[in-house]
């Protein structure tokens, strides 16, 4: 593994904090499962596509898990895994070097990250609730959350590219 610089660690920490803030700023609870919808995916996608899989994995997993400690503590550990893997997938599949943020590869990465997140939370809730039907309530909203995160990711990433943050 490559040695991480102070700049890398600082960027990861900042992205982690941004994921946490974006996740807890606007929450829409889903009473049937105890979960909630949020805007944190947009920053996870940003970290993964602009900075790479390590940033997406760390910021996604830690940032979303920290948010869950405040909003839905029972989900903190599963979220660490689900959102961490989501950031890793998007970062590995996406292309941070592509000038076109909406390249075919990046769109596929966002789609697969969204599908993984919905599936990961479905499996988590099946285990937590010991029920296969109730967690179905959250699959559609989780997919919508991923789509909204993908849409919000774009203007933020365009601005950061324009000011040459990455």
72-99 per-position pLDDT tens digit? 999 999 999 999 999 999 999 999 888 8
Dihedral of CA atoms 160, 164, 165, 166 in degrees, nearest 10, equals 100
Phi/psi at 26 (5° precision): -125, 115
Give mean pLDDT, residues 51-71. Answer: 97
Instruction: Please state, rounded to an integer, the average pLDDT across all residues of the chain.
Output: 94
Phi (first) and psi of residue 59, to 5 degrees: -65, -40
As a whole number, mean pLDDT of residues 59-82 equals: 97
Band (1; pLDDT cuts 50, 70, 90): low
Among 23-27, 43-47, 153-157, top mean pLDDT goes to 43-47
Q: Tell me the CATH number for domain 6-22+35-161.
A: 1.10.1760.20
> Once rounded to an integer, what is the mean pLDDT over residues 123-131?
95
CB distance 60 to 87 below 8 Å: yes
Adjacent-strand bridge partners of 35 = 30
- Confidence tier at 161 by pLDDT (50, 70, 90): confident
Q: How far apart are the C-alpha atoms of 92 and 32, rounded to whole Å?
A: 33
Residue 162 has pLDDT above 90, yes or no: no
Task: For the chain, give the percent of residues with pLDDT over 70.
Answer: 99
Mean pLDDT, residues 101-112 taken together = 95
For the whole model, what pTM was predicted? 0.94
Whole-number Å distance between alpha carbons of 96 and 69: 30
């Amino acid at each position: 593994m490559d040695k991480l610089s102070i700049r890398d660690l600082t960027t990861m920490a900042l992205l982690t904090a941004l994921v946490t803030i974006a996740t807890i700023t606007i929450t829409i609870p889903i009473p049937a499962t105890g979960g909630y919808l949020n805007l944190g995916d947009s920053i996870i996608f940003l970290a993964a596509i602009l900075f790479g899989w390590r940033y997406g994995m760390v910021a996604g997993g830690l940032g979303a898990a920290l948010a869950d400690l405040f909003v839905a503590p029972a989900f903190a550990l599963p979220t660490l895994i689900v959102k961490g893997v989501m950031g890793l997938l998007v970062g590995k599949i996406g292309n941070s070097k592509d000038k076109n943020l909406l390249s075919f590869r990046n769109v596929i990465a966002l789609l697969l990250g969204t599908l993984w997140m919905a599936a990961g939370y479905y499996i988590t809730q099946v285990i937590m609730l010991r029920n296969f039907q109730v967690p179905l309530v959250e699959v559609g909203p989780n997919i919508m959350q991923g789509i909204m995160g993908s849409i919000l990711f774009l203007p933020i990433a365009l601005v950061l590219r324009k000011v040459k943050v990455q």
